[in-house]
Amino acid sequence: MDKRNLSNSDYENIYNENTTITNSNNIDSSANISIFEKDNFEPIDYIDIKNEESIFEVFKSKDYTETVSNILNAIDNYYNDNQTFDDYPYFRIQNTCKFIPKLKTPSKILSERQLREIHANLPYYQQFKNFTLVFSPEIHGMSIRTFYLNTKNVKSYILVIKDENQNIFGGYITDEIHCSENFYGTGECFVFTFYKSDRIHCFHSTGENDLFVRTDEDSISIGASNNLYSIFIKGDFNIGYTGTTQTFKNPLLTDKTKFDIINMELWTVTNELI
């Protein structure tokens, strides 16, 4: 079977609940989820930075000299590029300064901390940018046609899914989403999960194949190998699947191979000040 042309019915047969899914080393992929459970991710107290004055207060009182200097330079560069000084980007300090993207539409899935974690893993040229919601079934309906209309002339997306067990996971897509029978995207694509934590676990391209993204008339898929996908979403946005692929060498991104989608959001990275 050609893994580049796997149909929905083929994929559902592969992910039959009685089937044991194995990775390239013949290890049960569901066992790999235990790597997330080993993390003891303690809450962190933040210091808010909202303007120039508070930046220098932190600069004087904490041992953040190099970090804050770098952030000040980054802010200067950011506004030189955007030709406006209306408002400072919103930062928080946690040993190092982190940018918190602003959202024109509030997310019903992501916490502020999770936004920061995703942003920190984006390519360097996407730093200090905000997020704009492109598509959500809850807001825009369940039509995949609307999905494609909303993604026209837009590049760089963050797909976020919440399943029936409240697990949050997704992927970063580099190219404009469009209906295609072929895979597209670049090696900057990645998948991620916040399994049982606010801490992100990212799985970047291994370079073993270029099967990054495929979005056809009735499905969305990210990562592929051995007739499996890292993320596969049916076109009605109700059901999805996850598996281990050579593209990202990810374990299952949630508790089980088949999951129900409770909510889904597709964000784009934007220079727009919100």
pLDDT in tens, 152-195: 988 899 999 999 999 999 999 999 999 999 999 999 999 999 98
In a domain, 213, yes or no: yes
In a domain, 73, yes or no: no
Residue type, position 96, single letter: T
In a domain, 24, yes or no: yes
For residue 3, what are the contacts with CB-CB under 8 A and spacing of at least 6?
A: 211, 224, 225, 226, 227
Instruction: Provide the domain limits for residue 121.
Output: 3-41+106-270
Cα–Cα distance between 187 and 177 in angstroms, integer?
16
Mean pLDDT of the chain: 76
Q: φ and ψ at 261, to 5 degrees? A: -90, 115
Contact (Cβ atoms closer than 8 angstroms) between residue 172 and residue 190: yes
In a domain, 26, yes or no: yes
- This prediction has a pTM of 0.70
Q: How many domains does the chain have?
A: 1
For residue 73, what are the contacts with CB-CB under 8 A and spacing of at least 6?
A: none
Contact (Cβ atoms closer than 8 angstroms) between residue 154 and residue 176: yes
Query: At 101, is the pLDDT very low, low, confident or very high (cuts 50, 70, 90)?
Result: confident
For residue 148, what are the contacts with CB-CB under 8 A and spacing of at least 6?
A: 177, 178, 179, 215
- Token look-up 């047969």 returns 13
The predicted pLDDT at position 9 comes to: 53
In a domain, 169, yes or no: yes
In a domain, 61, yes or no: no
Query: At 127, is the pLDDT very low, low, confident or very high (cuts 50, 70, 90)?
Result: confident
The predicted pLDDT at position 90 comes to: 43
In a domain, 76, yes or no: no
- Taking residue 163's Cβ as centre, other Cβ atoms within 10 Å add up to 22
In a domain, 69, yes or no: no
47 has a pLDDT exceeding 60: no
42 has a pLDDT exceeding 70: no
